[in-house]
Chain A
Amino acid sequence: GQQLNQSPQSMFIQEGEDVSMNCTSSSIFNTWLWYKQDPGEGPVLLIALYKAGELTSNGRLTAQFGITRKDSFLNISASIPSDVGIYFCAGPPQGGSEKLVFGKGTKLTVNP
């Protein structure tokens, strides 16, 4: 089945730094979603991307839908301690589906 590969697996940064993480697939996705999961909680949608090349922002977060449709990037600017958590990329497999495929996540730690 379709898989999403996220990198890096984990990041340790200082408060105020910018963060960049990405998600790649061997097959095309027509929608890219970025979620954040806090410890002990369910994932919360941060950004949804629907069009190749699309660049979308949500506050300090910016995500891009890769031109090849096989990758996506999430950037966080001026990180703060509450950015700590696991960031997942996800998308519905080709052909349209209610089933979302998730990457394994990038774990972000922010040192104050």
Chain B
Amino acid sequence: NAGVMQNPRHLVRRRGQEARLRCSPMKGHSHVYWYRQLPEEGLKFMVYLQKENIIDESGMPKERFSAEFPKEGPSILRIQQVVRGDSAAYFCASSPERVRDEKLFFGSGTQLSVL
């Protein structure tokens, strides 16, 4: 009964490189949410996806950031040409349906460090 799996747990990138963060939702969950957490801050919503569809990307920066959740495989959050300000913990959450709060399960996150 695996939970939400995120990898890598830690990712170091130099400025200008690309970062790819992966999230495998819990079995049977078809809804994925990405949140970002800056140091000493709460989580901030980025994007909500269902299989093959982006439902709400209102929290995601318009440039350099993209997300997908293909029919097969994990959800990917992609950050192109990373900058130091992208350094943060990125959390993925999944739910079996449009979120009913107690059914939202978070992964352990990917800590992105940009040098």
Name the A residues within 8 Å of B44 (CB-CB).
102
Q: Type the 1/0 row for A8-41, where 1 means its CB is closer than 8 Å to any CB of B.
A: 0000000000000000000000010100000011
Which interface residue of A40, A44, A88, A98 has the most chain B CB atoms within 10 A?
Answer: A98
How far apart are B102's CB and chain A's nearest CB, in angstroms?
A: 5
One of B13-21, B55-63, B64-72, B77-85 contacting the partner: B55-63
A74 to chain B, nearest CB (A): 15
Q: Is the CB of B42 within 8 A of A88?
A: yes
Instruction: Say whether B55 contacts A98, CB under 8 Å.
Output: yes
B111: chain A residues within 8 A (beta carbon): 40
Interface residue? A48 (CB, 8 A): yes
Q: Tell me which residues across on chain A come within 8 A of B109, comparing CB atoms.
A: 40-42
Cβ contact within 8 Å between A105 and B108: no
Residue of A nearest to B100 (CB): A48
Query: What residues of chain B lie closer than 8 Å to A92, measured between beta carbons?
Result: 99, 101
B99–A98 contact, CB under 8 A? yes
User: What are 22 of the A-B contact pairs (CB < 8 Å)?
Assistant: A33-B101, A40-B108, A42-B4, A42-B91, A42-B106, A42-B109, A43-B91, A43-B106, A45-B102, A45-B104, A48-B101, A90-B42, A90-B43, A92-B101, A98-B33, A98-B56, A99-B48, A99-B56, A100-B45, A102-B44, A104-B40, A105-B41
Closest 6 CB pairs of A and B: A102-B42, A42-B106, A99-B45, A102-B43, A98-B48, A98-B99
In addition to A48-B102, A103-B42, A104-B41, 8 A-B residue pairs with Cβ atoms within 8 Å of each other are A31-B101, A41-B108, A42-B93, A42-B108, A42-B109, A48-B101, A98-B55, A104-B42
